[in-house]
Chains A and B, each alone.
Chain A
Amino acid sequence: MKLHPLSIPYRAASRGLSLGLMLFFLGQSLSGSDVLPFPLAGPVLVVLAALGVVGAAAWQVAYYRRFEYRLTGDGLEIASGVVSRRNREIPLGRIQNVDISRNVIQRALGVAVIDIETAGGGATEASLRYVGYDEAKRVQRQIQRLKRGEEAAEDETEPGERASPEERETVLFELQTDELALLSVLSFDFRYLSLLAFGPAALPFVPGVAELAFVGGLVLVALLVAALWALSAATTFARYYGFRLTRLGDELRYERGLLQRYDGSIPLGKVQALTLDANVLMRRFDYTTLAVETAGYGPGQTPSGGSEAAVPLATRERVLRLAREVEEFEVPEFSRPPKRARTRYAARYALVLAGLAGVLYALEVAVTPPAPIPVPLAAIPLAFLVVVPVAAHLKWRNRGYAVGEDHTLTRNGFWSQTTKVVPYYRVQTVIQSQTVFQRRRQLASVVIDTASSAGGAAAAVDVDAETAAELRETVGEKLQASLAARRGETDRESDLDSSRRD
């Protein structure tokens, strides 16, 4: 198969524009100097830029002519390259996610990008730029069908006509407009607040009228916070507009996006872990988000927002019901870290505040201020000592872990509480660690690592040292047990298959 013919002008335009601009500016900066033997006047510049555009277009035609892809029973074969040729085959079984994305212009042209993710490496394995939207959907469907081992029936008939029962899409979740609005408002990322650090630089300083400057500063900070909030809400709105999650056989499909439309698939068989996230505001209204993690994306790199593609926001109850469609897990009783962990947090916060006070005191002594300050600076962090017990308690309260029949659950974080659900058969390694400070209090942490490439691993932090050692062994044993159980299943299946064949 070839790419969509429109990909030539589209690629030529986008590449040619940047190349033309670069040449233009290069010419501009060289025009004054005597580096070149001929004078770089207006018409020459235009010719240069035009040459760049034509060159880019010619390259794109060659790229189009030499690009070929094919879906076979074994996988996706791609032959590409103008100067150096490259032939690649991606085995079907290794394909994790198939994502389709279209921005506004691509939507108008009716073309789309297909990104194929595998577990290896840090980058997208293969990217088809650009194919027709229908063709993209066909590839996505076909990959799933081939994976199930069906005959590579070419899609001559309409999908609706010949859809087998398991091929009919069932809608699992649709984001209503009011939910989307709520999500946009609630999902304020507290990290945006760090941008406020740049605030003071932007503050207009009125010398002499210190009070006025202070009030003005406060107003400005409030305005900035509101603006950041609006920005975050708008981003979230555009990102999750028209969100829809469906199930098609053994794959989850999602669609979302206002300006850039995404359309991806998450194979259920490749799910590594489930993450439920809820910040303080969401918890207040009993809402939560769900992310389905696969090994498809490289760390820190999410071509389409990665595994954000699950449920952006719904009531906790509904999310749990949905999550159980993906993984059948129970929510067992969570055990909290022992109380001495809480003392540890309190001590830690108090030490940080004391350190801050010390630094401020030293600063005050070293630099004599022009005008006397009413309160000693060092007193400010010390005043926060009052909230230390509360903060320590909240941190402690939101931590925990639970060992279920087939899954381990861990929970961490107050501002944004993250609950991870890890099936035992997905565990890669188990790491128990104990810092010097933890050793003093007989505490330890256990990290349960999977091949998931989104977010951090599940961690039971600050549990009793002996319990941690037990947990480490339990998880290892449960992994072996669940593997044995799965093996039994596949053996039975293959027995059935062979008896059917006989």
Chain B
Amino acid sequence: MEVLNPRVRLAWGVGAVVTAVVVGVLAAVVSRFTLGPGVTVGLAVALGALALGLAFVVLRYRSWRFEVREDDLYLERGVLTRINTVVPFVRVQHVDTQRGPVERALGLSSVVVYTAGSRGADVSIPGLTPERADDLQEQLRRLAIESERETDAV
């Protein structure tokens, strides 16, 4: 099983910080108009949210792993709800690589695999180095074409 690049924790951490700030500001505004002391409550809430978010990031990183198996892509993830997904190569419609601004700054990339399924139609693997992402995209693309032949995808 392959694990994600440890730097992905930083990318997720940025998200946790942003969420904590937003929650903190909201709490500050609400408490300012109801109870009175705004900044202290906001700060406390923000710190609490940040601690929770960071703990979540660590657990999320630990739970994430994936494997390119013989016929399918297998993923394990989830903190509260554990999710294991099997994506057969035959069902892969197309494969994308994606890089958001934070990911770009950290030198990371994600691979998104699309299927025709009605649920979980797109499966994404975050926290890959750009080289690994390109390799994986190429590998999945090749495997998808090899396994396709004349079968009907839909």
Contact = CB atoms under 8 A, between A and B. Distances in A.
A binds B: yes
A429 B154 contact: no
A344 interface: no
Contacts of B81: 433-436
A428 B82 contact: no
| Max chain B C-beta neighbours (<10 A), residue from A295, A433, A451, A469 | A451
A427 B90 CA distance: 10
Given A427-B88, A487-B149, A480 B117 contact: no
B72 A476 contact: yes
B38 to A, nearest CB: 27
Interface in A463-483: 469, 472-473, 475-476, 479-480, 483
Contact of A119 (B85, B149, B150, B154): B154
B115 interface: yes
Given A486-B151, A490-B150, A433 B82 contact: yes
Contacts of B119: 429, 431, 447, 449, 457
Contact of A295 (B71, B82, B123, B154): B154
B88 A299 contact: no
A453 interface: yes
A450 interface: yes
Interface in A201-252: none
Contacts of B87: 429
A435 B83 CA distance: 9
Contacts of B88: 427-429, 476, 479-480
A452 interface: yes
B120 interface: yes
B22 interface: no
Contacts of B123: 429
Nearest to A93: B152
Interface string B85-111: 111101100000000000000000000
A383 to B, nearest CB: 33
A119 B151 contact: no
A430 B75 CA distance: 11
Contact of A451 (B72, B82, B84, B154): B154
A399 interface: no
Interface in B137-154: 147, 149-152, 154
Interface residues on B, range: 20 to 34
Contacts of B80: 435-436
A42 B80 CA distance: 68
A473 B72 CA distance: 10
B152 A269 contact: yes
A270 B153 CA distance: 10
A295 B116 contact: yes
Nearest to B75: A431
Contacts of B86: 429-431, 472-473, 475-476
Interface in B52-78: 71-72, 78
A428 B78 CA distance: 21
A441 interface: no
B124 to A, nearest CB: 13
A449 B117 contact: yes
A302 to B, nearest CB: 14
Given A432-B84, A490-B150, A483 B90 contact: yes
Contacts of A473: 86
Given A469-B84, A472-B84, A479-B88, A450 B152 contact: no
Interface string A53-97: 000000000000000000000000000000000000000000000
A436 B59 CA distance: 14
A434 B85 CA distance: 12
B118 to A, nearest CB: 6
Nearest to A425: B151
A439 interface: yes
A487 B152 CA distance: 10
A432 B83 contact: yes
B71 to A, nearest CB: 5
A452 B119 CA distance: 10
Contact of A270 (B85, B90, B151, B154): B154
Nearest to B83: A433
Nearest to B85: A431
Contacts of A295: 116, 154
Given A476-B72, A483-B151, A434 B117 contact: no
27 contacts: A119-B116, A295-B154, A427-B91, A429-B88, A429-B91, A429-B115, A429-B119, A431-B84, A434-B81, A434-B82, A434-B83, A436-B80, A449-B117, A449-B119, A451-B116, A451-B117, A451-B118, A451-B154, A452-B118, A453-B118, A476-B72, A476-B86, A476-B88, A483-B90, A483-B147, A483-B151, A487-B149
4 smallest A-B Cβ distances: which pairs?
Answer: A428-B117, A449-B117, A451-B116, A430-B86
Interface of B: 71-72, 78, 80-88, 90-91, 115-120, 123, 147, 149-152, 154
